Structure 1
Amino acid sequence: MQDFLDNAPRITTEKFAAILGLTPSKGARSPLLWNAAFTAGGIDAAMVPMDVTPENLAGLVAALKADKRYIGGAVAVPHKQEIAKLLDRLEPEAERIGAVNAIYRDGDDLVGANTDGAGALSQIADALPDLASRKAVLIGLGGAGIAVAAYLAGAVKELVVANRTPVKAQEAAAKLGAHVSAAALPLTADLLSECGVLVNCTSAGYQDGDAGTPLGADAEALIAALPEHALVYDIIYQPTETALLKLAAARGLKVQNGLGMNLDQAVIAFQKANPGALPIDAVRDAMRNAG
């Protein structure tokens, strides 16, 4: 297993989970959440970060499948779509989305699931009781973006998706239903003037070193075009206030980051990898109190 990794996780427990990504060892929150739940349940297991490049992903998945201590875990960028091809099977939602953010073991099989979309939708719906009457614009159609779009499409009046690669937005719109359309980047003020929910699913603004936004050079003017009742939702949670959210908050708009989504998707994924080990409310409480 170590031959496929760019870091050296230390595994000392009877069982282990892992978050697979390019550099999850540099600050992924999933180990903190999962390990709090393991502790609360008295389970001899731990989640560790595993840094893996795309060329080593297939080898790592095969090694994890062969290691019966591995119970599953999380998948981070940039592997959420490619890993779907390497697992034994996918849950129907993950199959439809074409991306995986969670893995669990079922006997000898590794099964892929997607809990990103469900986690995001629960947060957005809680913030907007009138969500069904709103038009949403979503930027970014990587693994998490497609998942959020798939869940959001059935919950809003209209959804517009945009991506750096236009054909990807067009393909997603065609796949997601009659009330979904594609828009080109950069977005226009006319489009955002009708937008009740703006969702960022790109990596723009991730961590403190990136001061960018998914709206480009005209971000301030585009934020100004949003209606006063609009919600700006960013799936990023490191930092907790991205440049996009700062602009929106300065305008007086309702804003929300990805912390709640990260919690809910982790709770659901933990339950899949540890069926019956701990009641879901106990998992949620343990993860919420993890900090």
Structure 2
Amino acid sequence: MSIIEEPKIAEIPKVVEISGRTRVLGILAHPTEHVKAPPGINRIAMMRGKDAVMVPLNVAPADLDGFVASLRVLKSFDGAIVTVPHKQSIIRLCDEVSPQALAVGAANVVRREADGRLVGDQLDGIGFVEGLRGQGIEVRGRSVYLVGAGGAANAVAFALAEAGITKLTLANRTVDKIETLAAKLRTAYPAIDVAIGSVDPRGHDLVVNGTTLGMNVTDPLPLDASLLEPNMIVAEVIMEPEITPLLQAARDVGCRIHLGRHMLDHQLQLMANFLGL
């Protein structure tokens, strides 16, 4: 019979000790199995010496209003990261939102003030652009093709415009949504050539999937991958799976690929600051 040795104390992973003083943070999503932020936020809390912990909050859209109302009276709650499918709905439930969140029409982080007021902000787009820069990709002067019209795609579009791209082609299954986004971008950034596109990404330096297509194995591709060209950079906002079908198709063509986790890596510090860590 083999003897199983007890692990040495130094080998046992450090566990966050929950006390009666621990501040609670959440990641608000539905479902929550794919979320990646809690480990990173919890590491930041430990590094900064904060008695706080982030936990998943799996809330269905039909229950969102009632749940958010309860957060106002949860005195140990400091705030949450907000992700699919709640980024747009959360705006109307906040007492105050940043100009960036208002422009985008979505918030991805909410802070609870001491008096119970909820303040929303939008850090998706900033995190995406900084993630590109962190990998040595500068977007200024680039031509970009962006698929999607949801909260993440809106945030990425505004951040890319702010970062100095010269052309932005928007594509989405529901055309009226991207027409609304295009109109907002043309008003805010008149120097940028904003166009409505199709599933054809040709003629662009950077191709971005700003949709959730690729999270499930049965999802169709968000664009016509057969038209990708080797000189393109193809980027994702999806973090799980790390290599989506689109990124695999791009890699097969010879494109440079950019992972969704780079956006999260650069958002975490910003989110931690916003949530008071």
Q: Spell out, residue by residue over 1:238-266, the C-alpha distance to the aligned partner (whole angstroms, 9 max, x if none).
A: 11111111111111111111111012122
Match of 1:243 among 233, 242, 245: 245
* Matched position secondary structure for 1:133: coil
- Between the aligned residues of both structures, percent identity stands at 33
Give the 4+ runs in structure 1 shifted more than 4 A.
126-130
Amino acid paired to 2:180:
E
Question: CA 1:261–1:68 in 2, change beyond 3 Å: closer, same or farther?
Answer: same
1:231 Cα deviation after fit: 0.6
2-structure distance, mates of 1:252, 1:12: 51
TM superposition score normalised by structure 2: 0.86
What is the RMSD of the two structures over their aligned residues, measured on CA atoms? 1.8
User: 1:127 Cα deviation (Å)?
Assistant: 4.2
Which protein is bigger by CA-based radius of gyration?
Answer: 2
The answer (yes or no) to whether the contact 2:131–2:265 under 8 Å persists in 1 is no
The question of whether the paired residues in 2 share the 8 Å contact of 1:173 and 1:180 is answered with no
State the match for 1:23 in structure 2: 31
Q: For residues 125-146 of structure 1, give each alpha carbon's deviation from its aligned partner in whole angstroms, at most 9, with x where no partner exists.
A: 4446552222101001111110
Per the alignment, residue 15 of structure 2 pairs with none
Query: What is aligned with 1:212?
Result: 220
> Which one-letter code corresponds to 1:273 in the other structure?
L
Question: Does structure 1 retain, via aligned residues, the 8 Å contact 2:79–2:111?
Answer: yes
Q: Distance in 2 between matches of 1:56 and 1:12?
A: 29
2:158 is aligned to 150
Aligned residue for 2:7? none
Q: Please say if residues 166 and 193 of structure 2, whose CA atoms lie closer than 8 Å, have aligned partners that are also in contact.
A: no
- Aligned partner of 1:135 in structure 2 is 143
Q: 1:43 to 1:255 in 2, by over 3 A?
A: same
State the partner residue of 1:166: 175
Aligned residues: 253
Match of 2:140, SS state, is helix
The 5 A counterparts of 1:106-145 are 106-108=113-115, 109-127=117-135, 131-145=139-153
Within-5 A mapping of 1:194-205 = 194-205=203-214
Q: Aligned partners of 1:96, 1:193: CA distance in 2, in Å?
A: 28
Does residue 183 in structure 1 map to residue 188 in structure 2? no
Match of 2:11 in 1: none
Aligned twin of 1:86: 93
Name the SS for the 1:123 alignment partner: helix
Q: Match of 1:237, SS?
A: coil
Distance in 2 between the 1:144 and 1:64 partners? 24
SS of the residue 2:45 aligns to: helix
